[in-house]
Amino acid sequence: MLLIVSTIFIGLALLAWGGDRFIIGASASARNLGVPPILVGLTIVGFATSAPEMLVSALAAWSGTPGLAIGNAIGSNIANLGLVLGTAVLIQPLVAQSKTLRRELPALLAVTFLPVLLFIDGELSVMDAVILLAGLAALLYWLTVLSSRASVLDPLRAEYEAEIPEDVPMSKALLWLAIGLGALLGGAELLVYGAETAARAFGISEVVIGLTVVAIGTSLPELAVSIAGARKNEPDLVLGNVIGSNIFNLLAVIGIAGIIAPHRFEPGILSVHYPVMAGITVAVFVLAYNRRKHRGRLGRGAGAAMLISFTVYHAVVAWHTLAT
C-alpha cells in the first residue's frame, strides 16, 4: 500500500514540475524562433499543458490498459472545467472580452460532440482515432489563421505577450524543454504503474482510476497556470488555457490512445462520464459566450457551482466504486 501511494505521489509530483518546465521551454523556444506570442499561446501552450495527459494515455494504452487512457482524457476535461476553472473564478471573477476566445468557444463545443458521433457504436477504432487526429491537424491550421487575424487590441494578445518568457536564451529554453520532457516521461511511467497496481490490488476499474486520481494529477499544470492567471487578473488567458487543453485532450489524447490500442468502451463511459463532461462544457459555453454584450462573465457563484459539480461527481464515482 505504501509503495503504491508513494509511486503515484512521486509520479504526480514529477508530472506537475515537469509540465511547468516543459511549458516554459516550449513557449520560450517558439518565441525565440520568432513565433508570435498569441500563436504560441493558442497552440504550443495548449499542447504543452496537455503533454502529461498525452504521455500518460500513450503509456497506458501501450501497456494494455486503454481504459485508463480514455478515463484520463475525459476526467481531465472535467477537472479542467470543474476544478481548474472553478478555482480560478473563485479567486477572480472572469470577464472574457477576447474575440479570439469567442471563436474558440464554439470550436470546443464542436470538438466535444464530435467523438459522440464516432463512439456511438461503443468502440474506439483506428479509423475513429485517425479522424480525431485529422481534426487536430485541421484545428491547428485554423488556430494559426485565427492568431494571424487577431486584433492588436485583443486582450488575449496582450496577456500572452506578458506571460510567454522573452528573456530566456535558446540554450536554456532547450535545456528546460529536455528536462521537462524527461520529468514528464518519468512521472507518466510511475503514475501509470501505480495506477495499474492500485486497480489490480483494490479491484477498481482502470477507467475510474483514470477519471479520478490520474485525471486530477495530469491537470495540475493547467491548475497552476490558471491560478497564476487569475491572481494577475488575466481572464482571457485563464479561459484560453482551459479551452486549449480540453480540445487537445479530446482530439490528441484519445486519438493517440486509439491508434495504439483500439478497444470497446466500458458502458459507463458513454452513459455517465462523457455526458457529465459534455454537460459542464455546455454550461461554461452558455455562461462565457454572450453574443449581445460581446463578452462573457463567470462570477464567483458560477465558480462555486463548478467546484460543487466537480466534487459531487467524484463523490458519486467513489460511492459507486465502493458499493460495487
Residue-level pLDDT at 39 = 81
Averages of pLDDT over each 10 residues, the chain, 324 residues: 83 85 87 83 80 87 86 93 93 80 85 88 92 93 82 74 81 92 89 82 83 85 82 82 90 93 87 93 84 66 92 91 74
Residue-level pLDDT at 86 = 93
Q: Which among 198, 196, 247 has a CA at the least distance from the CA of 59? A: 196
The rounded distance, in Å, linking the Cα atoms of 183 and 185 is 5
Q: Which among 28, 308, 62, 59 has a CA at the least distance from the CA of 169? A: 28
The rounded distance, in Å, linking the Cα atoms of 283 and 89 is 14
pTM, two decimals, is 0.89
Residue-level pLDDT at 290 = 64
Q: Which among 60, 47, 94, 147 has a CA at the least distance from the CA of 289? A: 94
The rounded distance, in Å, linking the Cα atoms of 127 and 131 is 6
Q: Which domains does the chain have, with CATH numbers?
A: 46-56+65-159+204-323 (1.20.1420.30)
Residue-level pLDDT at 294 = 46
Residue-level pLDDT at 321 = 80
Residue 105 C-alpha cell reads as: 468557444
